[in-house]
């Protein structure tokens, strides 16, 4: 009966929103099929064609190349706008709802026929939000000295908590200066494999510690923080509505077929392909549970903020949409799927990630997305772009080193390594901000070649390809040759605190931030503190950290520290 009530509720919502545009037999008219969302490929060989496409405000995927861009058409109006643009295009998946049904069937068959998958967890099906929370708590309970879970400070707009997991030997002891590696999943609601791979890597590390020499060595040298689901609201809506409801369940409620069309066997409320978060109105924290209002739109299209355009580095630049439609900047305003929000870090989800990076020394980062089989690195805008404030984007200061690491990662998973802007302009991204604010080498993995959330067996296959790349990224983050080290003596138990300006350039100004992290000096009075360089990658002049030593609640010593990438700075903090 619970399933029946849930299905009945979904049908009522769909009927009220006009999403069930099918009339069954016996109603005196022919069936009228609604428009089904499609995945299409648009030929964009020239900058002019790419600009024309950007101006249409359609839902672009993360899959594009020098001569094409893939996107989702959610409505007949989307199709008509594209048809009227003069661009050449072809359909690659003609009915995403039918594809969703086929994938769900394939997933059910895979789960039924597979006792344990090759994944570290052995899982055979996509997780729900509750599954992620339960598994993180379970890992911490099973290995309490190795794993801890914690909740990020800011609840989502719909009132959900965002949970993270931290893994490392002696993880519950005070931070003593180890480097941190951060992995993020699911900024975009429909990209389910991005969370699956993040969670599976947590299982990989927990299972391997004490049994796999490589994993054990790494977790003795650094800590790993994983946030499988950044966009908890959007994912929950996408995932739960992505499982099709069999309308035959409703026969006991409507045996005559007068309300539920008998010609229709399944219902998808349409949120399986939701991209953004659940922001319904800028500056307004709507009542908890109101994210369901997205059901009145085609896949949330026109509502929400694209979280991967909401970060403070280059925020407001090309490839993101502002509040007001612009023909010259090629976007459709608030309704655009790339809407960047009212301000940098306007969204609780991105503020959570910002706080995470500003409170610890993260020397490496991967943010998982789908799809495109790509390893992307900063910057996310063309080097030729000049901001409204007169700053030229140029190449990242560490481009050569980041390209080398990106190449190593791509050789492991068979993806293509490239700068993000080679895909398309998309400024305001996670890895751009993490690098620009803190110096963290950050990469986006675009997992898979054809779909946002393909059959689960594909998730299993791609994790097998990405596992080695993830471990190489960890090794790079642990290697002091690629970051910086502060080393020296201080009184046992003293608190050392490191601060620096972490403001980043937006398109028309700056996004203020302060990096602040602390360690406790071990009992032997020596410390080794792995940090990023003191000078931000976009700074014109060398910058210094402010290092303070606190004992008995009082600051006893303050010093300024200049340290570059690959350098070890010896310090005497007598306090």
pLDDT at 486 exceeding the cut of 60: yes
Tens digit of pLDDT for each residue in 244-294? 544 443 344 444 444 444 434 444 446 788 899 999 889 888 888 888 776
Q: What is the DSSP string of 322-357?
A: -SS-BTTTTB-GGGSTTB--SSTT-SHHHHHHHHHH
Instruction: Kindly state the percentage of the chain with pLDDT values over 70.
Output: 86
Looking at per-residue pLDDT, the higher value among 22 and 296 belongs to 296
Task: Say whether both 230 and 357 belong to one domain.
Answer: yes
Task: Give the separation between CA 452 and CA 558, rounded to whole angstroms.
Answer: 50
Q: Please state the rounded mean pLDDT for residues 180-207.
A: 97
Instruction: Kindly state the percentage of the chain with pLDDT values over 90.
Output: 67
pLDDT on residue 31: 44
pLDDT at 33 exceeding the cut of 80: no
Is 545 part of any domain? Answer: yes
Rg of the chain taking only CA atoms, in angstroms: 25
pLDDT on residue 261: 43
Q: Please state the rounded mean pLDDT for residues 234-243.
A: 84
Select from 481, 502, 525 the last residue of a domain.
481
pLDDT at 319 exceeding the cut of 90: no
Task: Give the separation between CA 369 and CA 187, rounded to whole angstroms.
Answer: 7
Task: Give the separation between CA 141 and CA 361, rounded to whole angstroms.
Answer: 26
Nearest Cα neighbor of 548 from 513, 497, 478, 512 is: 497
Nearest Cα neighbor of 91 from 71, 65, 77, 64 is: 71
User: What total number of domains does the chain contain?
Assistant: 2
pLDDT at 565 exceeding the cut of 80: yes
Is 544 part of any domain? Answer: yes
pLDDT-derived band of residue 14, with 50, 70 and 90 as boundaries? very low
Helices (H), 143-280: 192-208, 213-219, 232-242
Helix (H) or strand (E) holding 109: helix 96-113
pLDDT at 9 exceeding the cut of 50: no
Helix (H) or strand (E) holding 508: none
Helices (H), 453-566: 456-478
Task: Give the separation between CA 229 and CA 188, rounded to whole angstroms.
Answer: 9
pLDDT-derived band of residue 328, with 50, 70 and 90 as boundaries? low
* Long-range Cβ contact pairs of 15-21 (< 8 A, separation 24 or more): 15/259, 16/296, 17/295, 17/296, 19/269, 19/270, 19/295, 20/261, 20/264, 20/267
Q: Assign residue 509 the CATH number of its domain.
A: 2.60.40.3390
Is 279 part of any domain? Answer: no
Q: Please state the rounded mean pLDDT for residues 523-537.
A: 96
Task: Say whether both 438 and 505 belong to one domain.
Answer: no
Task: Say whether both 488 and 473 belong to one domain.
Answer: no
Q: Which domain holds residue 378?
A: 120-234+347-481
Is 247 part of any domain? Answer: no
Name residue, tokens 């006009």: 18
Tens digit of pLDDT for each residue in 349-408? 999 999 999 999 999 999 999 999 999 999 999 999 999 999 999 999 999 999 999 999
Tokens representing residue 509 in the block: 């100004």
pLDDT at 12 exceeding the cut of 90: no
Task: Say whether both 230 and 193 belong to one domain.
Answer: yes
Is 210 part of any domain? Answer: yes
Task: Say whether both 364 and 491 belong to one domain.
Answer: no
pLDDT on residue 24: 30
Task: Give the separation between CA 249 and CA 245, rounded to whole angstroms.
Answer: 8
Is 333 part of any domain? Answer: no
Task: Say whether both 137 and 169 belong to one domain.
Answer: yes
Tens digit of pLDDT for each residue in 404-445? 999 999 999 999 999 999 888 899 999 999 999 999 999 999
Task: Say whether both 466 and 494 belong to one domain.
Answer: no
Task: Say whether both 559 and 442 belong to one domain.
Answer: no
Q: Assign residue 378 the CATH number of its domain.
A: 3.40.630.10
pLDDT on residue 333: 65
Select from 441, 456, 481 the last residue of a domain.
481
Looking at per-residue pLDDT, the higher value among 57 and 3 belongs to 57
pLDDT on residue 402: 98
Q: Which residues are catalytic?
A: 446
pLDDT on residue 325: 64
pLDDT at 536 exceeding the cut of 70: yes
pLDDT at 295 exceeding the cut of 80: no
pLDDT at 298 exceeding the cut of 70: no
Helices (H), 248-382: 348-358
Per the CB < 8 A criterion, the answer to whether 235 and 229 are in contact is yes
Per the CB < 8 A criterion, the answer to whether 497 and 548 are in contact is yes
Select from 481, 512, 531 the last residue of a domain.
481
Task: Say whether both 351 and 453 belong to one domain.
Answer: yes
Tens digit of pLDDT for each residue in 159-192? 999 999 999 998 998 888 999 999 999 999 999 9
Task: Say whether both 351 and 223 belong to one domain.
Answer: yes
Which residues have a Cβ under 8 Å from the Cβ of 267 and sit 6 or more positions away?
A: 7, 10, 11, 14, 20, 244, 245, 247
Looking at per-residue pLDDT, the higher value among 17 and 409 belongs to 409
Is 89 part of any domain? Answer: no
Q: What is the mean pLDDT of the chain?
A: 87
Please measure the distance between the N-terminal and C-terminal CA atoms of the chain and give it in whole angstroms: 68
Task: Say whether both 530 and 498 belong to one domain.
Answer: yes
Task: Say whether both 477 and 548 belong to one domain.
Answer: no
Is 555 part of any domain? Answer: yes
Q: Which residues pair with 540 in a beta bridge?
A: none
């Amino acid at each position: 009966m619970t399933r029946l009530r849930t299905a009945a509720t979904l049908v009522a919502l769909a009927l009220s929103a006009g999403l069930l545009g099918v009339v069954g037999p016996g109603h005196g008219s022919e069936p009228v099929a609604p428009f089904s969302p499609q995945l299409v490929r648009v030929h964009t060989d020239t900058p002019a064609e790419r600009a024309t496409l950007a101006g249409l405000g359609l839902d672009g995927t993360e899959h594009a190349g020098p001569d094409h861009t893939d996107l989702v058409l959610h409505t007949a109006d989307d199709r008509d706008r594209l048809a009227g643009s003069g661009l050449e295009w072809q359909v690659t998946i003609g009915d995403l709802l039918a594809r969703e049904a086929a994938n769900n069937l394939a997933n059910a068959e895979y789960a039924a026929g597979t006792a344990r998958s090759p994944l570290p967890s052995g899982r055979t099906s996509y997780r729900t939000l509750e599954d992620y929370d339960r598994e993180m708590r379970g890992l911490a309970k099973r290995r309490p000295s190795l794993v801890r879970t914690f909740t990020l400070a800011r609840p989502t707009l719909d009132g959900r908590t965002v949970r993270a997991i931290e893994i490392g030997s002696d993880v519950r002891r005070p931070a003593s200066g180890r480097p941190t590696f951060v992995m993020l999943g699911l900024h975009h609601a429909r990209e389910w494999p991005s969370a699956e791979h993040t969670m599976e890597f947590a299982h990989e590390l927990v299972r391997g510690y004490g049994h796999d020499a490589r994993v054990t060595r790494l977790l003795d040298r650094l800590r790993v923080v994983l946030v499988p689901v950044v966009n908890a609201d959007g994912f929950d809506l996408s995932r739960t509505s992505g499982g099709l409801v069999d309308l035959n369940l409703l026969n006991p409620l409507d045996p005559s077929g007068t309300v539920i069309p008998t010609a229709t066997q399944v219902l998808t409320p349409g949120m399986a392909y939701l991209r953004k978060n659940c922001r319904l109105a800028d500056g307004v924290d709507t009542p908890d549970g109101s994210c369901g209002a997205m059901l009145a739109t085609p896949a949330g299209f026109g509502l929400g903020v694209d979280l991967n355009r909401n970060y403070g580095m280059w925020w407001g630049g090309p490839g993101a949409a502002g509040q007001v439609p612009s023909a010259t900047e090629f976007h459709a305003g608030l309704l655009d799927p790339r809407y960047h929000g009212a301000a940098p870090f306007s969204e609780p989800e991105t503020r959570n990630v910002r706080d995470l990076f500003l409170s610890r020394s993260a020397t490496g980062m991967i943010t998982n997305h789908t799809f495109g089989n790509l390893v992307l690195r900063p910057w996310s805008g063309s080097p030729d772009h000049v901001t409204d404030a007169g700053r030229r984007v140029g190449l990242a200061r560490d481009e050569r080193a980041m390209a080398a690491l990106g190449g190593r990662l791509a050789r492991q998973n068979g993806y293509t390594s490239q700068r993000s802007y080679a895909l398309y302009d998309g400024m305001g991204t996670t890895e751009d901000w993490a690098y620009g604010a803190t110096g963290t080498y950050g990469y986006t993995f675009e997992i898979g070649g054809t779909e946002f959330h393909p059959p689960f067996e594909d998730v299993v296959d791609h994790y097998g390809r990405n596992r080695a790349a993830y471990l190489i990224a960890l090794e790079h983050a642990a290697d002091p040759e690629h970051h910086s080290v502060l080393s020296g003596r201080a009184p046992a138990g003293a608190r050392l605190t490191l601060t620096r300006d972490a403001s980043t350039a937006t398109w028309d100004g700056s996004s203020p931030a302060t990096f602040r992290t602390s360690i406790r000096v071990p009992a032997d009075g020596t410390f080794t503190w792995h940090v990023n360089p003191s000078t931000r990658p976009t700074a014109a002049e060398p910058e210094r950290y402010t290092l303070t030593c606190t004992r008995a609640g009082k600051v006893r010593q303050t010093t300024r520290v200049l340290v570059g990438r690959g350098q070890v700075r010896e310090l005497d903090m007598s306090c």
